[in-house]
Each structure stands twice: as C-alpha cells, then as structure tokens.
Chains A and B, each alone.
Chain A
Amino acid sequence: NVVPTPVKINLINMLSETGLQVIEATSFVSPKWVPQMADHTEVMQGINKLPGISYPVLTPNLKGFQAAVAAGAKEVSIFGAASELFTKKNINCSIEESLERFDEVMTAARAASIPVRGYVSCVLGCPYEGKISAAKVAEVSKKMYSMGCYEISLGDTIGVGTPGSMKEMLTAVMKEVPVGALAVHCHDTYGQALANILVALQMGVSVVDASVAGLGGCPYARGASGNVATEDLVYMLNGLGIHTGVDLQKLMDTGTFICNALNRRTNSKVSQASCRL
C-alpha cells in the first residue's frame, strides 16, 4: 500500500507532537527501487520541522544526498550491512564497495556540516548467510564510525536475534565503538525485540529505534511482523523508570491515525490492550 503524501506528512506532524526527538522522515532513493518513497522531496518540504527535533533521511549515495540537502534535510543516514550476500542482493555491490560510496556522502556531509548516522544491517543474522559473526559486525561498525558517522544503529534485520546473540554482538562492537555512539534497531519478527532491547540497555546502550504501531512487515518472512512498536517500547521504558520524554497516549493516538489510514490493525500490543472501551 503506497500511502498518500498528505497522510505521511500528517503522520510525521503528529509524531512531532509526542515528544519524540528523532523522526526518520523519508528516503532519497530512486523511486524505481522504492516507489513508496517517491514523494521524498514533497514530504521533506511539507512537514512542520519543530525546533529540537531531528528529521534524518536515508541517502544511499551522493546523488541522493544532494537531493536531500536541496529539499532541506539537516541530517542523513547511510545503510551498511554485516553480510556480503545481503549487500549484494540489496544494493548490488560488496560491503567494501558500499563503504566507498558512503565515503563520498561523508565527505560532502562534512563539508556541509550535516551529521550522518550509520546503520549496520543483519547484525544478528542474515536471510541469506544465516549466522553472522560478531567480529564482522564490529569491523563494519568500526569502519562506519571512523568514516565520521556520529551514531551506529545495529539492526537485527530479520529479528532472529535473542538476548544471547545480542549480548555477544554488543560485546564485540563495544570494543571498537564507544557505547554512547551505539543504537539498537530490533525487529520483532520472532517476538524477541523487547527482550533484546532490555539486554542492550543493561549493557549501556541508550538509543533505541522503533516504529509507531510496529509499522513495517518483514520482507523475508511473508505475513510476519517487522519493526518493534514504539508504544510497546515506551511502555517498557516507563515501567523501568527510564526517561524518554515521549507521551505514550499521544503516541498511541498517532498509531491509531496511521492504522486507520492504512486500514490495518496495529502491531502494538499496548495499543491493542488499551482499546477496550
């Protein structure tokens, strides 16, 4: 389902009112590859950009970066992977080649004083290669951090990770990248996301990626879920007494809005449980 531009803009505006400090707005990638993000320029120019909130966008290469900056982007993200096969299938080149492309983006970003966030996919497993070594994740993370990414988001792309593999992977990465520069991006495909996030928090990670209403399925397991729901994450953090600045009720209202617009049920259990009246 491709979502109409005004709905996307409204979604982002509603998210901006919840207390969230970072909202990934869109992706400056060719509509040939990602038609759902074809309206990237209109979205970027249409949203209310509230002070104190960051609206990073994906920029896979220099061309995308330039289009993003022209459209008003003030922060960008690049997507690497800890798996050669995944990189080949996803962006048709090797990890090394992808890092070379990113280097061009880094140079331009540095010149324009634009912060860059780095993502590493497949950190706890790959749909093609299966098991991924923690050392490989650490190696790719280190390279991206050294290139100038201010933060590295470690993604369990197919959600196969468990607290055991999360701990092992983070232990290796934390030898190369300071914990203050690390984030986790857990998928809930096997229901492990919150347990994995808990372990990451216990190890000192304090940046967590999540998706309102758990939007975004898993392209590698038909019918399975993908992103962890922001509502469920905030519920857990509230219960742990950890401050996030996010208003859970406003977040749930935003989730309700987008699910109605998409004509689908929420993937957030907190939202489901709360809708009893």
Chain B
Amino acid sequence: QESQASGLPEYIKIVEVGPRDGLQNEKVIVPTDIKIELINRLSRTGLPAIEVTSFVSSKWVPQMADHKEVMRGIERHPGVQYPVLTPNLQGFHSAIAAGATEVSVFGAASESFSKMNINCSIEESIEKFEEVAKSARNMNIPVRGYVSCALGCPYEGNIIPAKVAEVSKRLYSMGCYEISLGDTIGVGTPGSMKRMLEAVMKEIPLGALAVHCHDTYGQALANILTAIQMGVAVVDSSVAGLGGCPYAKGATGNVATEDVIYMLNGLGINTGVNLYTVMEAGNFICTALNKKTNSKVAQASFNTGTI
C-alpha cells in the first residue's frame, strides 16, 4: 500500500549473486561443500533467484573450477531459479549437461573493458552470445543478459548512456529475457543512473530491466533507490556484500543483500525474502571466509550492545 502510493513497485525481485559474483571476487577460494551449503541456505530465505556458478575455463576463473560439482550438489528448491554464467557455446553445453535450467551472458558497454576482460570486441562477444542464445532458445532455456560498465569503465572512464542502450538492445533482441545493468566499478551516482536508465528505457521495456550496483563509492543504495523510483523492479545484490572490487585494491564491490532488503522493507516493498535468514547465511559464509561482513545491517544487528 505504502509503496504503491509513492509510485514505487509493489514487489521487487532480488537476484542473489553472492555465490558467483561474490565468491569469484574474494581472495580466498572456498571449498565446494561450503559453496553448496551457502547456496542451500540461501535457497531457504525466500530469494527467488540465486546465481550459482560460472561455466568458464578454470584457467581464467579458478574460483569457479568446481562448477559441475556445485551445480549437481545443490538442493533445487521449487520456485527458485539457479542461473549460471555461460560465456560461450562450450560453457553453455557444459552447463546444460550439469543440469542448469537458466544461463547468463555478460556483455559490456565499453570496448576496452570487453577487450581486457574477454579478449574480444563488443561485436565479437555479441556474436558468441548469439550462438548461446540460439541454442538456449531451442532448448527453452531462459537467458539473462548483463551489461557491464553501465555507469563508468575502469579503462575508458565515462560511458555514454547511448552506448549502454545500444548494447542492451542487442542482448534483448537476441532473446535475453532480462538485462541487468551493472555499475561495475561503483562510480555511478543517482544522476548518472537516471540518465543511463532514461536512455535504456527507450529501447527495453521496464519489466525486462534490472540493476546491478556496486558499493565501491558507497552509492549503491542511493542508485538502487533512483532505479526503483523509475520503475525498475529487479535488483542484484550479494549476501554480506561478498566480492571486492578487482579495480580498486581494498575497496568493496557488490552491494549487500541484507542492506537492500532492509531498505525495501522500510519502503513497504515486498521481496518475499526473510532478512534474518539472509543475515544468518551471511554470517555462515563470513565465518567460513574468516572475514567481516560488508553488510551494515548485519554489523549493526549482530553487535547490538545491551541498552
């Protein structure tokens, strides 16, 4: 009721990227059984989508070398999606063989980033994704598209909104059901978020958009708020804010799922997620990683002294 009156979505789908984006960017490599336990715990929180792993060569991403074991080892809860990254056709086939029922492809709005990250141009990467999308369509496998560097690039700096719109449109046209716009280095602010979304919304229906904000400069929640004020109803986040920023040593990366849910709860927006169980899952993985949580809500909740 409260959210409706304010023009905000009534329901927001949270896509939990901790087990993949989070763990991929943590210094410590996590044993397979811990990953599986984390994902199982997250499955019980009400989260509708949990990004499980990445079917990419272990030469490039050693943290995700156990992709098959993780995919086969996790509990699959009804009503929960378990997407996996598949950068190319080979990864896609491997993912399907391991039981994946949804995949993701990662594009970028920056040529330099595309070159440095996956060693090819944006155009070449799109061609690879088209192969994946075609196979996926034949098998009725939904594909989610990511656009990195939507608000800035570690190499090129400023990224123009029109470029983000163009890449998003390519991914959407090839059949991605949802486009997740990523502020990869967290440099965005509500101003740049608004301008970027305005450009993208000319090409992609609102219902197919998601935001993936990094909190490297502390702007994530303000940026997410701006996005949901514009009608975006899908938000990516990472339990305990797992996953640092590979481009700024010591800096944080993903926004913490707990902090996002806290905000959405306060706004009267339904997510279906139990905040407390997410905090518990966060506590579990931080203990396993021997690190402090990046979630302020978790910090405040587990540290309340006697009043």
Contacts and interface: CB of A to CB of B under 8 A. Distances in A.
Nearest to B3: A164
A240 B262 contact: no
Interface residues of B, number: 44
Given A163-B266, A222-B304, A190 B296 contact: yes
Contact of B221 (A191, A224, A240, A270): A191
Given A162-B262, A191-B262, A225-B299, A240 B191 contact: yes
B245 A163 contact: no
B295 interface: yes
A65 B265 CA distance: 42
Interface in B279-307: 295-297, 299-301, 303-305, 307
A250 to B, nearest CB: 18
B251 A272 contact: yes
A241 B221 contact: no
Contacts of A151: none
Interface stretch (B131-139, B201-209, B211-219): B211-219
A111 interface: no
A239 B222 CA distance: 12
B296 A273 contact: no
A128 interface: yes
Contacts of A236: 189-190, 218-219, 222
Nearest to A128: B307
B29 interface: no
Nearest to A197: B222
Nearest to B305: A222
A272 B303 contact: no
Given A161-B266, A192-B263, A239-B191, A127 B215 contact: no
Kindly name the residue among A164, A165, A275 whose own CB sees the greatest number of chain B CB atoms within 10 A.
A164
Contacts of B215: 269
A194 interface: yes
A164 B1 CA distance: 12
A189 interface: yes
B200 to A, nearest CB: 18
A194 B249 CA distance: 23
Nearest to B260: A191
A191 B249 contact: no
A223 B302 CA distance: 9
B46 interface: no
Interface in B153-196: 186, 188-192
B194 to A, nearest CB: 9
The 6 A-B pairs of least Cβ separation, nearest first, read: A239-B189, A162-B266, A191-B296, A269-B218, A223-B303, A232-B218
17 contacts: A128-B307, A162-B266, A163-B263, A163-B267, A192-B221, A194-B221, A198-B225, A224-B299, A224-B300, A232-B217, A235-B218, A236-B218, A239-B192, A272-B250, A275-B250, A276-B247, A276-B249
Given A167-B6, A236-B218, A276-B250, 18 more contacts: A162-B266, A164-B2, A164-B3, A164-B6, A165-B266, A191-B295, A192-B266, A199-B225, A218-B300, A224-B300, A224-B303, A225-B300, A232-B218, A239-B190, A269-B216, A272-B251, A273-B248, A275-B250
